[in-house]
């Protein structure tokens, strides 16, 4: 990972995609290394069930359009997933070559094909013949886009309502640019828009249009609103100006100009999930001199993927395990000067099966910092969910049995809004698959279409 010196004007370069794509020769050699397994375990390990040996064989044969279409058919956000999927836990982890040589670089090959489609301005799909039914989708993130794409192919008139200025949700605003450039997310959005899907941006449901109106105007509504801001820490000093929400912090690096105000600063990030890693690596790339991740459990319990952890270490992020923040300190002008922490010890497992951290009294110490970033998970859009009048459990929408239908039979939900409480998974690729399945479920209800198409 090479970075330029953190000087003004050089920072933008730090936010360009860090990993280069495969060269044509690399892609050819790697694709030919694929065994083209029959009933391949990589397909089974992909939540969207991409025909991986199929798309790789098409790279080897030079049929790049066919390869990109194979990927995007199964996964409407397949270009993003090529970059952000935890492949070693999914397809690449299942590759049979793990047992003999080394697994195929499936993610990089997927990126190669989708990059080809992007660079060659390929339109891969055509909208289905209109069936007269209307579906509203709230949120244009991976789940919403995926549902919209499948419904459009099936002939539905689809309108997506997006509160943000631009569509794409998490892929547009929530994943650091050096892993997922916005242009990739926008290409996926364009693929969906080209199917006559209307995306109304800057339109906040519940404010600009009521939930009831939306439900009344459409044959079905899909709630794909994801999650909200990072909750407060509940400690003294967290309302200071230099205490940030990690989601907002990352978002700021993807909108407008890159700020130079973190050059030479010391930052603390609270939490050790993937968002915490993103906030920490963003800080480094914004020129911060020292970045510390503070986590009350140990490396073993952290929820960040291993490759994210490795990446953060390579970027120079420091880790304080078994450490909890107790107070954010500031000087008389309100400028953050440090974070007071307390050492923890793990006791017996709590309700969620994870060992509970307990404070060691008298172990307080101060880490001098100029800013603090909160990354302890995300809160829920409880208000909006309640406006739709559907059942939920602490903001996690409750589903009916083995379906994506909510307590209101016209309203469906998928993506992060159903994640938690034993439901779903918080991966982009899982959201994409849920979006597809939600579309098929709606089709089976409204048109008697076959469920489980993919």
Of the candidate residues 1, 12, 23, 32, the single one contacting other proteins (CB under 8 A) = 32
Of the candidate residues 3, 17, 66, 96, the single one contacting other proteins (CB under 8 A) = 96
Which tokens sit at 397?
A: 């929408």
423 phi and psi, to 5 degrees? -110, 135
Of the candidate residues 11, 22, 40, 246, the single one contacting other proteins (CB under 8 A) = 40
Beta bridge partners, 161, equal: 138, 200
Contact 182, 172 (CB under 8 A): yes
DSSP letter string over 201-268? -S--BTTTB-HHHHHHHSSEEEE-----PPPP--SBTTTSTTEEEHHHHHHHHHSSSPP-TTTT-EEE
Angle at 298 between CA 292 and CA 299, to 5 degrees: 75
Q: Which segment (32-40, 77-85, 185-193, 296-304) binds other proteins by CB under 8 A?
A: 32-40
* By CB under 8 A, residue 120 contacts other proteins: no
If you search the block for the tokens 């490396």, which residue do you land on? Answer: 299
Q: Is 420 helix (H, G, I), strand (E, B) or coil?
A: strand
**Closest CB to other proteins among residues 31, 274:** 31
- 24-57 burial: b if 16+ Cβ within 10 Å, else e: eeebeebbebbeeeeebebbebbbbebbbbbbbb
Distances (CA, A) of 392 to 96, 233, 242, 441: 41, 24, 34, 20
| Residues 46-85, mask of contacts with other proteins (x by CB under 8 A) | --------------x-------------------------
325 phi and psi, to 5 degrees? -75, 140
Give first-to-last CA distance, the chain, whole Å.
Answer: 38
Q: How far is the CB of 39 from other proteins (least distance, A)?
A: 5
Distance CA 93, CA 99 (A): 10
Q: Which segment (27-35, 68-76, 134-142, 210-218) binds other proteins by CB under 8 A?
A: 27-35
Of the candidate residues 20, 39, 332, 452, the single one contacting other proteins (CB under 8 A) = 39
**Closest CB to other proteins among residues 5, 38:** 38
**Closest CB to other proteins among residues 120, 335:** 120
Q: How far is the CB of 302 from other proteins (least distance, A)?
A: 31
* By CB under 8 A, residue 104 contacts other proteins: no
Q: How far is the CB of 60 from other proteins (least distance, A)?
A: 7
**Closest CB to other proteins among residues 33, 200:** 33
Distance CA 357, CA 296 (A): 6
Q: How far is the CB of 28 from other proteins (least distance, A)?
A: 5
Of the candidate residues 7, 13, 35, 207, the single one contacting other proteins (CB under 8 A) = 35
**Closest CB to other proteins among residues 38, 402:** 38
Q: Is 59 helix (H, G, I), strand (E, B) or coil?
A: helix
**Closest CB to other proteins among residues 39, 332:** 39
* By CB under 8 A, residue 102 contacts other proteins: no
Q: How far is the CB of 72 from other proteins (least distance, A)?
A: 25
424 phi and psi, to 5 degrees? 65, 180
Segment 373-402, which members bind other proteins (CB under 8 A)? none
Q: What is the DSSP letter of 419?
A: -
**Closest CB to other proteins among residues 1, 35:** 35
Q: What is the DSSP letter of 172?
A: I
If you search the block for the tokens 């059942």, which residue do you land on? Answer: 391
* By CB under 8 A, residue 41 contacts other proteins: yes
Q: How far is the CB of 424 from other proteins (least distance, A)?
A: 24
| Residues 145-184, mask of contacts with other proteins (x by CB under 8 A) | ----------------------------------------
Of the candidate residues 36, 123, 389, 400, the single one contacting other proteins (CB under 8 A) = 36
**Closest CB to other proteins among residues 34, 373:** 34
Q: How far is the CB of 44 from other proteins (least distance, A)?
A: 10
Residue 405 burial (CB < 10 Å; 0-12/13-18/19+)?
buried
**Closest CB to other proteins among residues 94, 223:** 94
The binding site for other proteins (CB under 8 A) comprises 28-29, 31-32, 35-41, 60, 96-97, 99-100
């Amino acid at each position: 990972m090479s970075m330029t010196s953190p000087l003004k004007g050089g920072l933008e370069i730090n936010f360009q995609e860090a990993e280069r794509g495969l060269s044509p020769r690399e892609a050819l050699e790697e694709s030919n290394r694929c065994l083209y397994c029959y009933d391949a375990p990589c397909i089974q390990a992909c939540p969207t069930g991409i025909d991986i040996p199929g798309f790789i064989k098409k790279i080897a044969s030079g049929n790049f359009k066919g390869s990109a279409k194979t990927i995007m058919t199964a996964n409407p956000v397949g270009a993003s997933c090529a970059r952000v999927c935890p492949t070693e836990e999914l397809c690449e982890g299942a590759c049979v070559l793990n047992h003999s040589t080394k697994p195929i670089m499936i993610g990089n090959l997927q990126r190669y094909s989708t990059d080809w489609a992007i660079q060659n301005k390929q339109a891969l799909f055509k909208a289905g013949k209109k069936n007269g039914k209307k579906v509203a989708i709230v949120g244009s993130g991976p789940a919403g886009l995926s549902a919209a794409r499948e419904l459009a192919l099936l002939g539905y008139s689809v309108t997506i309502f997006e509160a943000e200025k631009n569509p794409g949700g998490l892929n547009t605003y929530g994943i650091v640019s050096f892993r997922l450039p916005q242009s990739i997310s926008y290409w996926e959005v364009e693929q969906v828009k080209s199917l006559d899907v209307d995306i109304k941006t800057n339109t906040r449901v519940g404010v600009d249009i009521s939930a009831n109106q939306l439900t009344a105007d459409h044959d079905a509504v899909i709630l794909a609103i994801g999650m909200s801001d990072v909750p407060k820490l509940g400690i003294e000093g967290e309302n200071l100006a230099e205490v940030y929400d990690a989601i907002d912090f990352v978002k700021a690096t993807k909108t407008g100009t890159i700020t130079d105000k973190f050059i030479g600063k010391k930052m603390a990030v609270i939490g050790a999930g993937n968002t915490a890693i993103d906030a920490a690596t963003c800080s480094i790339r914004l020129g911060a001199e020292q970045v510390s991740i503070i986590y009350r459990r140990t490396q073993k319990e952290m929820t960040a993927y291993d490759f994210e952890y490795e990446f953060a270490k390579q970027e120079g992020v420091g880790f304080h395990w078994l450490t909890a923040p107790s107070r954010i300190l500031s000087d008389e002008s309100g400028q953050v000067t440090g974070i007071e922490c307390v050492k923890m010890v793990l006791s017996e497992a709590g309700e969620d099966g994870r060992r509970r951290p307990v404070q060691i009294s008298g172990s307080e110490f101060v880490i001098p910092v100029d800013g603090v970033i909160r990354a302890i998970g995300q809160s829920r859009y409880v208000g909006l969910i309640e406006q739709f009048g559907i059942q939920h459990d602490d903001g996690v929408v409750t589903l009916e049995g083995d379906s994506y239908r909510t307590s209101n039979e016209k309203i469906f939900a998928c993506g992060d809004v159903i994640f938690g409480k034993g439901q779903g998974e918080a991966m982009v690729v899982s959201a994409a698959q849920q979006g597809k399945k939600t579309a098929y479920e709606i089709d089976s209800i409204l048109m008697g279409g076959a469920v489980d198409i993919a």
